[in-house]
Structure 1
Amino acid sequence: MKSEAKVETRNTPQKDAIRAAFVETDRPISAEEILSYAKRSVPDLSIATVYRNLKILTEDGWLEVVQLPGETPRYERSGKEHHHHFLCQACRKVYELEGCVPKILPKIPRGFPRCRP
């Protein structure tokens, strides 16, 4: 029986730039946002390389997928305290909210108007 050894992934300038995007934004971000941030350091970075590294970083446990209904997946760093997510309808960016649902409404992020149906 063959044992499956975990393959060590190497650090590359592309992967370092992708990780730096998460450190800089400190919020869930999409592959397109990652590409925009990471291209500052690696101008020839492609979206295919971003997706390949997102898969690796997720499998390694460095990232988690944030799935919101009807939205493209966002990714955030693993190991954060329990929290929820807030999608700004104007800019389509996702932000983190600390705490649970009953405590969230009074804590809408500063600068966002409270919408009424």
Structure 2
Amino acid sequence: MERATRQRSAIKEALQTAARPLLAQEVLDLAARHVPNLGIATVYRNLKAMVEDGTLRQVVLPGENPRFEMGSHGHHHHFQCTQCQRVFDIHSCPSDLAMLAPKGFRVEDHDLTLYGRCKDC
């Protein structure tokens, strides 16, 4: 278990406060408000460690850098704004997607991303 540091606490607080998946640069921008001189290498090192210990989870969208969110979220999906590129959580699921699989196939997991414009755009 990693020890608690000011940097790690600021990174965790940034992700909790944002309440949406963040890019590493967005994490840095928010966390640096509490820890001046925080560097991107420190952010990446802590994000990696926090993913490994289950505190955070990566959100990977095709052609995008990974985003990070709290690992305590249950099953959910995402919405990406095509205007500002921000990603938001969708806390619902469209039920049984197994019926979409070819006959004889077994669905073990799924990931769904909706695209459009967010309320700010």
**Same fold, judged at TM 0.5 (above):** yes
Q: Which runs of 5+ in 1 are unaligned?
A: 1-7
Give the structure 2 partner of residue 43 of structure 1: 36
CA contact (8 A) 2:83 2:117 kept: no
Match in the other structure for 1:25: 18
Structural mapping, 1:25-104, within 5 Å: 25-101=18-94
* Distance (Å, rounded) in 1 between the aligned partners of 2:79 and 2:33: 27
SS, match of residue 85 in structure 1: strand
Cα RMSD of the aligned pairs, angstroms, is: 2.2
Gaps of at least 5 residues in structure 2 are: 96-111
**Sequence identity percentage:** 45
TM-score norm. by structure 2 comes to 0.76
Cα pair 2:76 2:92 within 8 Å, conserved: yes
Counterpart among 84, 100, 119 of residue 111 in structure 1: 119
Quickly say closer, same or farther: Cα 1:54–1:110, change in 2 above 3 A.
closer
Report if the CA contact (8 A) 2:51-2:57 is conserved. Answer: yes
Shift of 1:109: 8.4
Equivalent-residue separation in structure 1 for 2:119 and 2:19 (angstroms): 17
Take 1:112 and 1:98, find their aligned partners in 2: how far apart are those partners? Answer: 19
Aligned positions of 1:1-16 closer than 5 A = 8-16=1-9
Aligned residues: 102
TM-score (ref. length: structure 1): 0.79
